[in-house]
Structure 1
Amino acid sequence: MPALPLALAARTGWDSYTALKLGQEEWAENRTFCAYCRMARLASLASFALALPEAVRAARAATGRR
């Protein structure tokens, strides 16, 4: 089922983008990051990094490439 890893990568990618965008806004307003925001950003980026290799394999399997 290649759709599931692809959906997971898309979702975690979107979450990572949102976390980075919110961090940028927080820095522009306050010139500091709260601990919760730093951890959320780190967790989002780590989740995306872990989901990406499986999504690449799923995309290759769906297209018939090796």
Structure 2
Amino acid sequence: MNSLDISLIFKIGAFGIFLMVLEKVLKASGKDEIAMITNLAGIIIILMMVVNLISKLFGTVRTIFQL
């Protein structure tokens, strides 16, 4: 496992913690709709990071098995 993968895991974790804190602050101030929108935006951003990583994986597999 290389350091890029570990740093990506830490980035996703830190982003998740940040979203959790932001959601709690927004819900405490009575802005439930904005909290839900920020959660959805955060999930989309994390999914884009994961899809990019999977794309790199498929590219690597393709180059390994290319004849």
TM-score, normalization by structure 1: 0.56
**1:38 corresponding residue in structure 2:** 39
Alignment coverage as a number of residue pairs: 51
User: 2:19 touches 2:39 (CA, 8 Å); kept in 1?
Assistant: no
Higher CA-based Rg? 2
Q: Structure 1: 5+ residue runs without aligned partners? A: 51-66
Percent pairwise identity: 14
User: 2:26 touches 2:32 (CA, 8 Å); kept in 1?
Assistant: yes
Structure possessing the higher relative contact order (Cα contacts under 8 Å, 6 or more residues apart): 1
TM superposition shift of 1:30: 1.1
RMSD (Å), alpha carbons: 2.9
**1:16 corresponding residue in structure 2:** 16
Q: Structure 2: 5+ residue runs without aligned partners? A: 51-67
User: 1:19 touches 1:41 (CA, 8 Å); kept in 2?
Assistant: yes
